A and B are shown apart, each in its own frame.
Chain A
Amino acid sequence: MRRSIIITIVVLGSVLSGSVAYAAPIRPTDPSVVLERLPLKRGDTRAAELAKDRALLAAQPGDPELALRVAEQYFDLASAEGDPRYIGYAQAALAPWAADRGAPTDILFMRGKLLQWRHDFRPALELFGQVLQREPDHFDALTWRSAVLTVLADYEGARSDCRALKKTKGELFWGSCLAYVDGLTGKAAAAEQRLNGLLARHADASPVNRLWLLTRLADLAARLGRPADADRYFQRALALGVTSQYLLANYGDFLIDEGRPAEAVALLRDWSRSDVLLLRLTFAEQMLNAPEFKAHAGALRDRFAAAALRGDTLHQQEESRFLLRVERNAGRALELAVANWIIQREAYDARILLEAAVAAGRPDQAQPVLDWLAASHHEDPHLTALADKLRAKSGP
């Protein structure tokens, strides 16, 4: 019911502003005018390899190994670029096994990975569970399940999967898995120490592994009140030269929190294609009163409206933040933040719900997050300050 009202409002709004689907089409006169820049050039080696595999798969669509290889390449692309089309392409490669419970184990696992991308966490957990029933030591399924359980704030479940990793690979993996969960549950200082140790002892770790460790370390240092150290971790992670939406988004958030919007703009300027990064870029431009702010805010508004037309609820956290900071609509922001908290429970999901509850003057709505904060012992000065504000508002 609420959803249909939202959609109606958005449809009405978009029809009025004439922005989403109904702008006026044109007929360019110059044949050399560039209409679209493709993210992948055909000459690109990655693109070439993918195109070759895709053609092979088209010739033999039931080949599980080939299908998996195509799906994995698209999944990695989606993670680097943040583009959901690649998830659709990966899903298409696995279409022959879409509803097949007897599918090869790694295909079941890949389906789970794709499902969690769409925030279908429960069905994804079910698939990971099936994989682990067949192969209790399936390394990827264990790591992914622990990751999804963390998003759902099931820290005990996540820890148990981390411990099960001990039977599969070295300490770099199970150790960082456990340290990560510890870092979210009141042991930030110890977690930082452990991750630092792992980083030092595994100089041979791959760049992606190091990137993962460094972004987590940056988050821990920031939450422990040492922004200069956090900045150094972020800089080291950037120096690895791996494209990562996650790193860019987190560093962007950090720079904005630290009141360094000009640096955030420099970091994210070329990333307006990604909604997640465009959101941070727009916030930074808003702080700077930059001329690009208006156009970027308009683009985000259009993309949220377009998502609502589809009926997507993937981006509730981002939309809530946008509503609060740019549209200054605390009521709607709070509604979305509450709905988002039901689906995912990470630190920023908590923060936006607290911020919206403060802005809307509705401390009652923030109770689930306050309960989570108390139960998890999560350390974060931003969250603690917001929680104090809410407690002061709701009275003794």
Chain B
Amino acid sequence: MRAIVIAVVLFCWGAVAHAHKPSDSYLILKVSDSRVEGQWDIALRDLEYAIGLDANGDGDITWGELSARQGAVASYALARLKVAVRGAACTLQATDHLVDQHSDGAYAVLRFAATCPEATGPLTVGYTLFFDLDPTHRGLARIESAGLTQTAVLSPERREQTFDLAASSVWQQMWAYVREGVWHIWIGFDHVLFLLSLLLPAVWLRVGRQWQPVLRFATAFWDVLRVVTAFTVAHSITLSLAALQVVSLPSRLVESVIAASVVLAALNNVYPVVSTGRWIMAFSFGLIHGFGFASVLADLGLPRGSLVTALFGFNVGVELGQLAIVAVFLPVAYALRATWFYRRVIFLGGSAAVVVLAGAWLLERALNIRLLS
């Protein structure tokens, strides 16, 4: 064996200066009200090495071969995972078997439920999967509870880790939802475009059939404040009603009306119908936008114990996000209000573009088709 020659040696080392994807599994635990649900993505290559999946030995793992070994996969994997709440071990039960593709190949997706004797308290994860076969294996864990996400890397050196879910205090929880709210406004183009369409004329006054630039900043400021406040009050009302499950509307209807509201708000700039009463428009359509926010909040998973915190935090986040947009918009619009560029390009051109874009959304959402990629 010592006959390895220098060439092999040096040549091997040459290959070494590079990396490749090592073995990882992805473990997600969702904790809510004494229920723990898990999803565990485990590479098929690793399962093949550990328990054998390729029944006919042809080098290909088919869905049929994996399906036949589902029981073995679940018992092998779940025996190497311990979940405990407040020190009391939970019972793990496989609930579903799927497959997924990650950057380095196919993974078995094992869904499971944990039944825990303790309802609340710190969550402990003990992980030993594949450590005996491949000490470089890592478990990449993501623990989600009450809108908070914690991540951890489980390794042979750190097999057991405890996550203080209670430490997600009211403030931390609220902060998490505030961030979600800001984020949603930031990526929620429909809400932003609706608001901006209503705000574009705020730096002008309608005199007869003509637009005139306002003379004082305060005039524009109060107009913006009226519109933004009306929008905020309206969507806060419906967001709360929907989150508390007092009212519920089908999401396709809500999303379609939101798109329609954007079309109308922008159209009103091109063919003015409502000029001074734009805050009424903001209020009426704001009611519908609130339902849109509520569905996002519902997707985040609402903790029953801290619903009010979540609701309040999310709403504050939405308002902060809105405020940031207005704070950028207003000074710029005020500075440019008397220019040809603002009147022609931003106001008319921008509004027309919004009409087209939101019109496409409206068609997509109402007819359930895809126009934009």
Residues of A whose CB lies within 8 Å of any CB of B are: 11, 19-28, 30-43, 68-69, 72, 75-76, 78-80, 82-85, 87-89, 91-92, 95, 98, 106, 113, 116-119, 139-140, 143-144, 147-148, 151, 165, 169, 172-173, 176-177, 180, 205-206, 208-213, 215, 244-246, 249, 273-276, 299, 302-303, 305-307, 309-312, 314-315, 317-318, 344, 346
B108-141 vs A: 1/0 string, CB under 8 Å?
0100000000000000000000001111111010
Q: When A33-B63, A38-B61, A42-B57 are in contact, do A91 and B135 touch as well, CB less than 8 Å?
A: yes
The CA of A205 and the CA of B109, in the complex, are separated in Å by 49
For B22, the closest partner residue in chain A by CB is A84
Q: From B40-48, B276-284, B317-325, B330-338, give the one contacting chain A.
A: B40-48
Q: A27-B99, A144-B13, A177-B10 are in contact. List 10 more A-B contacts (CB 8 A).
A: A21-B102, A31-B64, A34-B62, A38-B54, A84-B19, A87-B136, A91-B135, A140-B2, A144-B9, A173-B7
**In the complex where A35-B61, A303-B104 touch, is A318 in contact with B18 (Cβ < 8 A)?**
yes
B153 touches A309 (CB 8 A): yes
Interface residues of B in 1-54 (CB under 8 A from A): 1-2, 4-24, 26, 28, 39, 41, 44-46, 48-49, 54
Partner of A275 from the list B5, B20, B138, B151 (CB cut-off 8 Å) is: B20
Question: Please, how many angstroms separate the alpha-carbon atoms of A170 and B17 in the complex?
Answer: 27
User: With the chains together, A165 CA to B16 CA distance in Å?
Assistant: 22
- Complex CA gap A372/B137 in Å reads 36
Residues in chain A near residue B4, CB distance under 8 A: 140
**In the complex, which residues of chain A have a beta carbon less than 8 angstroms from the beta carbon of B133?**
88-89, 92
Asked if A36 and B19 sit within 8 Å, CB to CB, the answer is no
Chain B residues in the interface with A (C-beta under 8 A)? 1-2, 4-24, 26, 28, 39, 41, 44-46, 48-49, 54, 57-64, 66-67, 98-106, 109, 132-138, 140, 142, 151, 153
Q: How far is the CB of A110 from chain B (nearest CB, A)?
A: 10
Can you pick out 7 interface pairs between chain A and chain B where the beta carbons lie within 8 Å of each other?
A35-B99, A37-B61, A80-B15, A88-B22, A92-B134, A275-B18, A309-B140
CB distance from B149 to the nearest CB of A (A): 9
A206 to B6, CA, bound (A): 11
A211 x B135 contact (CB < 8 A): no
Q: Which residues of A sit under 8 angstroms from B57, Cβ to Cβ?
A: 41-43
Q: Is the CB of A36 within 8 A of B20?
A: no
Q: A205-B7, A208-B11 are in contact. Are A35 and B21 (CB under 8 A)?
A: no
By beta carbon, the residue of chain A nearest B21 is A303
Are B59 and A40 in contact (CB-based, < 8 A)?
yes
Residues A83 and B20 in contact, CB atoms below 8 Å apart? yes
Tell me how far the C-beta of A314 lies from the nearest C-beta in chain B, rounded to whole angstroms. Answer: 4
Q: Which residues of A contact B61 (CB under 8 A)?
A: 34-38
Contacts of B153 in A (CB 8 A): 309-311
A residues near B12, Cβ cutoff 8 Å: 75-76, 79, 113
State how many angstroms separate the Cβ of A78 from the closest Cβ of chain B: 8
Identify which of A85, A244, A305 contacts B134 (C-beta below 8 A): A85
Q: How far is the CA of A72 from the CA of B23 in the complex (A)?
A: 20
Interchain CA distance A87-B46 in the complex, whole Å: 13
Residues of chain A with a CB closer than 8 A to B2's CB: 106, 139-140
B residues near A249, Cβ cutoff 8 Å? 18
- Could you tell me the distance in whole angstroms from the C-beta of A76 to the nearest C-beta in chain B? 7
| Cα–Cα distance between A209 and B20 once the two chains are bound (Å) | 25
Contact B59 A208 (CB under 8 A): no
Contact (Cβ within 8 A) B134 A318: no
Which of B12, B66, B101 gathers most chain A CB within 10 Å? B12
Q: Which residues of B sit under 8 angstroms from A72, Cβ to Cβ? A: 1
State the Cβ distance, A352 to closest chain B Cβ, in Å: 12
Q: Name A276's contact: one of B19, B101, B136 (CB within 8 Å).
A: B19
* Contact (Cβ within 8 A) A23 B101: yes
**Whole-angstrom distance between the alpha carbons of A276 and B21 in the complex?**
10
Give, as a whole number of angstroms, the nearest-CB distance from B139 to chain A. Answer: 10
Assess whether A310 is in contact with B67, with CB atoms less than 8 Å apart: no
Interchain CB contact under 8 A, B63 and A318: no
- Cα separation A91 to B14 with both chains bound (whole Å): 20
The 5 tightest CB contacts between A and B, nearest first, are A31-B64, A88-B134, A209-B7, A302-B103, A41-B59
CA distance A215 to B7 in the complex (A): 11
Chain A residues near B49 (CB-CB < 8 A): 85, 89
Given the complex, which residues of B lie within 8 Å of A306, measured CB to CB? Answer: 21, 24, 102-104
Least distance between A73 CB and chain B CB atoms (Å): 11
Contact of B10 among A39, A98, A147 (CB under 8 A): A147
> Would B18 and A88 count as touching, CB distance under 8 A?
no
Q: Which residues of A contact B138 (CB under 8 A)?
A: 310
CB neighbours of B44 from chain A (8 A): 35-36
Closest to B104 in A: A303
B-side contacts of A36, CB under 8 Å = 44-45, 48, 60-61, 105-106
Q: Are A244 and B15 touching (Cβ within 8 A)?
A: yes
Evaluate contact between A246 and B106: CB separation under 8 angstroms.
Answer: no
Tell me whether B9 and A147 are in contact (CB under 8 A). yes
> Complex formed: what's the CA distance from A331 to B103 in Å?
25
CA distance A98 to B12 in the complex (A): 22
Residues of A within 8 A of B17 (CB): 119, 151, 317, 344, 346
- Cβ contact within 8 Å between A28 and B106: no
- Give min CB distance, B298 to chain A, whole Å: 19
Shortest distance in angstroms between B358's beta carbon and chain A's nearest beta carbon? 24
Q: Closest approach, in angstroms, between the C-beta of B110 and any C-beta of chain A?
A: 10
Q: How far is the CA of A172 from the CA of B5 in the complex (A)?
A: 10
B23 to A85, Cβ gap below 8 A? yes
CA distance A310 to B140 in the complex (A): 7
When the two chains form the complex, which single residue of A147, A273, A315 contacts B13, counting CB atoms closer than 8 Å? A147
Q: A144-B13, A310-B140 are in contact. Are A299 and B103 (CB under 8 A)?
A: yes
A273 to B20 alpha-carbon distance, docked (Å): 8
Judge whether A310 and B24 touch: CB under 8 Å: yes
Closest to B151 in A: A11
- A176 cross-chain contacts in B, Cβ below 8 A: 6-7, 10
Contact A28 B11 (CB under 8 A): no
How far does the alpha carbon of A315 sit from the alpha carbon of B4 in the complex, in Å?
28
Chain B, residue nearest A14 (CB): B103
- Chain A positions within 8 Å of B135 at CB level: 88, 91-92, 95, 98
B13 near A312: Cβ-Cβ < 8 Å: no
Whether B62 and A314, one on each chain, are in contact in the complex, defined by CB atoms closer than 8 angstroms, is no
Cβ contact within 8 Å between A173 and B5: yes
Q: Given B22, B62, B104, which contacts A31 in the complex, CB threshold below 8 Å?
A: B62
Q: Is B62 within 8 A of A82, CB to CB?
A: no
CA distance A20 to B57 in the complex (A): 30
Known: A140-B2, A302-B103. A318 touches B48 (CB 8 A): no
- Contact between chains at A143 and B6 (CB < 8 Å): yes
A169 shortest CB reach to chain B, Å: 7
Cβ contact within 8 Å between B7 and A117 = no
Contact B7 A212 (CB under 8 A): yes
Residue contact A30 to B63, C-beta cutoff 8 Å: yes
> When the two chains form their complex, are residues A245 and B102 in contact, meaning their CB atoms are under 8 A apart?
no
Once the chains are docked, how many angstroms separate the CA of A344 from the CA of B19? 13
Contact (Cβ within 8 A) B103 A34: no
